Amino acid sequence: MFSGKSEEMIRRLRRAEIAGQRVILFKPRIDDRYDNADVVSHAGVRMSAVPVDGHAEIAARARGHEVVGVDEVQFFDEQVVAAALALADRGVRVICAGLDQDFRRRPFGPMPELLARAEFVDKLQAVCHRCGGPATTTQRLVDGVPAPYSGDTIVVGAAEQYEARCRDCHEPGVDAADAVDAVAA
Ligand code: ZN
């Protein structure tokens, strides 16, 4: 998050467009933070995108395109990897952008498999919200405090905040039960 991955993907897709290739960009319908039809980076760079409900829709709507982008790919289920591989096997260039870790720093959805199967992987770093160092994790905050570890992995548009944090500044969330145990001890 905040690492510029959407921006980097848009840059690559734009270059393909300039080269005269047929390009299409997908995004999960779940993500309507900014705009229903566009992928918009945190820096404001935008590109029109096709919102899809799942991997089957990607496979169907990618036909006839030479370059396929998938933004926020962590929100798709595991089968998005097979869909991407099937496209790549047909000679399509597939560019996926996603968060590799959820707010607990656990591998996010289909990302581990995708990272393993991809020919090229670039891990981008954000800037830590706390100390300004290179950030590789996402801190979820609810009312300003770390969200509980047991919280849902995917919450879009809720009254929560996300910050890029480095390894040292990332704070694990405490579950209510753990808090009670701590008091009892
Ligand atoms: Zn930090």
Q: Tell me the pLDDT tens digit for each residue of 39-63.
A: 877 777 789 999 999 999 999 999 9
Into how many domains does the chain fold?
Answer: 2
H or E element that contains 134: strand 134-135
Ligand 1 mean position to 164 CA, how many Å?
Answer: 8
The model's pTM is: 0.86
Ligand 1 mean position to 130 CA, how many Å?
Answer: 5
Query: Is residue 49 located within the same domain as residue 89?
Result: yes
Ligand 1 mean position to 70 CA, how many Å?
Answer: 29
**What CA–CA distance (Å, rounded) separates 36 from 10?**
17
Helix ranges, 64-154 (H): 79-89, 111-117
Laid out side by side, the sheet with 137-142 consists of 145-146, 137-142, 161-165
Nearest Cα to Cα of residue 111 among 102, 103, 119, 120 = 102
Task: Report the CATH number that the domain containing residue 41 is assigned in CATH.
Answer: 3.40.50.300
Q: Tell me the pLDDT tens digit for each residue of 58-90.
A: 999 999 999 999 999 999 999 999 999 999 999
Ligand 1 mean position to 121 CA, how many Å?
Answer: 24
Q: Which of 92, 108, 124 is the last residue of a domain?
A: 124
Nearest Cα to Cα of residue 90 among 113, 65, 109, 69 = 65
Position 29 pLDDT exceeds 60: yes
Ligand 1 mean position to 158 CA, how many Å?
Answer: 25
Residue 185 is assigned to a structural domain of this protein: no
Range of the domain at 156: 127-175
Position 158 pLDDT exceeds 70: no
| pLDDT for the residue 31 | 56
Q: Name the burial class of residue 27, with classes exposed (0-12), middle (13-18) and buried (19+) by CB atoms within 10 angstroms of its CB.
A: buried
Query: Is residue 60 located within the same domain as residue 133?
Result: no
Please identify which of the residues 72, 119, 163, 171 carries the catalytic annotation.
72
Position 180 pLDDT exceeds 60: no
- Backbone phi and psi for residue 27, each to the nearest 5 degrees, phi listed first: -145, 150
Is 72 among the catalytic positions? yes
